[in-house]
Amino acid sequence: MDVRLNAWVRGRVQGVGFRWWTRTKALELGLVGSASNRPDGRVEVVAEGPREKCEELLTALRSGETPGHVESVGEQWTDARGDLNGFVER
């Protein structure tokens, strides 16, 4: 069963290629969703797919290997809605 991960990434994550990097990782994992800049400086990541693949993405976001500098990542898990196609940067 697929799940939806909402993750909010705080740190120096805007203007450093973070959304592009996240999109590349998500596509490698076969996930659909988006990575969006938020007005407060965070990046919001929405991803749907198998839970283990979403967990791999979450681990990657926290890995220290991202562009910029991640201070923290908040997460919320819900059931997949099935309304997403591809993975886009917003």
**For the residues of the chain, what is the DSSP string, one character each?**
-EEEEEEEEEEE-SSSSHHHHHHHHHHHTT-EEEEEE-TTS-EEEEEEEEHHHHHHHHHHHTSS-SSSEEEEEEEEEEE------SEEE-
- Residue in 4, 6, 12, 19 annotated catalytic: 19
Let me know if 37 is a catalytic residue. Answer: yes
- Residue in 6, 10, 37, 62 annotated catalytic: 37
Let me know if 19 is a catalytic residue. Answer: yes
Report the catalytic residues: 19, 37
